[in-house]
Amino acid sequence: MIPAARLLCVTMALALTTAAWADVPAGWRLVWADEFDVDGLPDPARWDYDTERNRAGWHNDELQYYARARLDNSRVQDGKLVITARREALATQPDYGGQQYSSARLLTRGKASWTYAYIDVRAKLPCGRGSWPAIWMLGTKGKWPVDGELDIMEHVGNKPGEILGSIYTGASNWPMGTARTDKVMVADACNAFHNYQLTWTPDRIRIGVDGRNYAELVNPKDGDYNKWPFDSPQYLLLNLAVGGVLGGEVQDSSLPWQFEVDYVRVYQP
């Protein structure tokens, strides 16, 4: 999801692994989960909010203001987390940066992070033009891109049903022209819940949907941190961006949008 001008990357497809199933690896156990079974704001023991660039403006020319602990933008209801983007200006907020849209960006930074994991997120996506929901991870060391980024799911309403999976490193990132991205079609992604999955081991990273992997990055095991920073912890993010270089033109009449998450489950050895 960061930084700006991601679309200028030359896409390098990950190796397709359509025969590989995205099951929980044998012997791994559930270590962290949110089933979203208590109505109200998301559990503060599990989630924080990322609002740090509201005043300055968000990366990728995104148009939203990310609200902190505001039920209109992030709430748990009927067993689901609902992240909602709205056409509104929250001009009374002290960190308001002139945005005409509100949304939310939840993250586990400072609360939970993992090194090697099987992550399973069941979600239903918005399809309004300009919507850009994402399920992704960033390195806890805080330096992008060298500490890595794992995009388990990205989707834009201007291309309904096209799911993107990406892996970013210091050696595989704009502007170097080697961004690693692959895609798969999920025709009813905006009408039904699907499972978006990451299998991360010391040997490889695989990205999948509904139990079938469609992308893979193999650890070169040459000791080059720029190529493989994934022996260090990463934290999880859930957000719904508005517009930007990937989200594209926003159709205001399609708002509000809802990004619904049924559960998040994390397994480790």
Select which of 154, 162, 216, 260 is catalytic.
Answer: 154
Count the helix, strand and coil residues of the chain and give each as a percent rounded to the nearest 5. Answer: 5, 40, 55
Distance, CA of 48 to chain centre: 15
Tokens of 214: 């469609």
Check if 62 is active-site. no
Nearest to 182 by CA among 209, 142, 204: 209
Are 86 and 101 within 8 A, CB to CB? Answer: yes
Q: How far apart are CA 7 and CA 84, in angstroms?
A: 25
- Annotated active-site residue 154? The verdict is yes
Q: Measuring CA to CA, which residue among 218, 151, 145 is closest to residue 181?
A: 151
Q: Residue 49: left (phi > 0), alpha (psi -120 to 50), or beta?
A: beta
First-to-final CA distance of the chain? 28
Options 149, 162, 216, 249, the catalytic residue: 149
DSSP for residue 155? -
Residue-wise burial string across 205-232, b where 16 or more C-beta atoms lie within 10 A, e elsewhere: bbbbbeebbbbbbeeeeeeeeebbbbee
Could you tell me where the DSSP H helices lie in 100-258?
Answer: 244-247
* Residues catalogued as catalytic: 149, 154
